[in-house]
Amino acid sequence: MKRVAIVGAGPAGFYSAEQLLNAGFEVDLYDRLPTPFGLVRAGVAPDHPKIKSVTRVYEKTARHHAFRYFGGVELGRDVTRDELLERYHALLYAFGTATDRRLGIPGEDLEGSHAATEFVAWYNAHPDAADHAFDLSVRRALVIGNGNVALDVARMLVLAEEELAPTDTADQALTAFGESGVQEVIVLGRRGPAQAAFTTPELRELGELTQADVIVDPAQLEGVEEPADTTAKRNLEALRDYAARQPSGKPRRLELRFLRSPVKILGDEQGRVRAVRFVGNRIEQGRAVPTGEEEVLECGLVLRAVGYRGEPVPGVPFDPKTGRIPNDDGRVLGEDGRPMRGEYAVGWIKRGPSGVIGTNKKCAAETVAHIVEDADLLPDPPGDEDIEAWLWRRAPDHVTWEGWKAIDDCERAAGEPRGRPRVKLVRIAEMLEAARSLAG
Residues at the interface with ligand NAP (CB under 6 A): 103, 144-150, 152, 189-191, 195, 197, 199, 202, 261, 305-308, 353-356
Shortest approach of ligand NAP to residue 94 CB, angstroms? 16
Q: Which residue is nearest to ligand NAP (CB)?
A: 147
Contacts of 100 (CB under 8 A, 6+ apart): 115, 116, 117, 118, 304, 306, 307, 308, 309
Shortest approach of ligand NAP to residue 356 CB, angstroms? 5
Cβ nearer to ligand NAP, comparing 25 with 198: 198
Shortest approach of ligand NAP to residue 418 CB, angstroms? 25
- Give kind and range of the element (H or E) at residue 429: helix 428-436
Cβ nearer to ligand NAP, comparing 256 with 407: 256
Cβ nearer to ligand NAP, comparing 244 with 356: 356
The DSSP bridge partners found for residue 276 are 265, 297
Residue 208 CA to residue 336 CA, distance in Å, equals 53
Cβ nearer to ligand NAP, comparing 148 with 367: 148
Shortest approach of ligand NAP to residue 386 CB, angstroms? 39
Residue 268 CA to residue 333 CA, distance in Å, equals 48
Angle at 38 between CA 37 and CA 40, to 5 degrees: 70
Shortest approach of ligand NAP to residue 235 CB, angstroms? 12
Shortest approach of ligand NAP to residue 122 CB, angstroms? 15
The DSSP bridge partners found for residue 151 are none
Residue 198 CA to residue 14 CA, distance in Å, equals 26
The closest of 134, 108, 138, 135 to 123, measured between CA atoms, is: 134
Shortest approach of ligand NAP to residue 163 CB, angstroms? 16
Residue 293 φ then ψ, to 5°: -70, 135
Cβ nearer to ligand NAP, comparing 85 with 125: 125
CB 363 within 8 A of CB 346: yes
Cβ nearer to ligand NAP, comparing 19 with 195: 195
In 3-state terms, what secondary structure has residue 267?
strand
In 3-state terms, what secondary structure has residue 230?
helix
Shortest approach of ligand NAP to residue 230 CB, angstroms? 15
Report CA-CA distances (Å) from 30 to 145, 388, 404: 32, 12, 12
Cβ nearer to ligand NAP, comparing 28 with 202: 202
Cβ nearer to ligand NAP, comparing 12 with 425: 12
Cβ nearer to ligand NAP, comparing 77 with 282: 282
344-347: Cβ within 8 A, 24+ apart: 344/90, 344/91, 344/92, 344/93, 344/370, 344/371, 345/92, 345/93, 345/94, 346/12, 346/13, 346/15, 346/16, 346/92, 346/93, 346/94, 347/8, 347/10, 347/11, 347/12, 347/13, 347/94, 347/96
Shortest approach of ligand NAP to residue 306 CB, angstroms? 4
Please, where are the H alpha helices in 245-386? 348-351, 359-374
Cβ nearer to ligand NAP, comparing 166 with 355: 355
Shortest approach of ligand NAP to residue 355 CB, angstroms? 5
CB 113 within 8 A of CB 265: yes
Cβ nearer to ligand NAP, comparing 12 with 150: 150
| Per-residue buried b or exposed e for 100-136, using 16+ beta carbons within 10 Å of the residue's own CB | bbebebebbebebbbbbbbbbbbbbbbbebbeeebeb
Shortest approach of ligand NAP to residue 148 CB, angstroms? 4
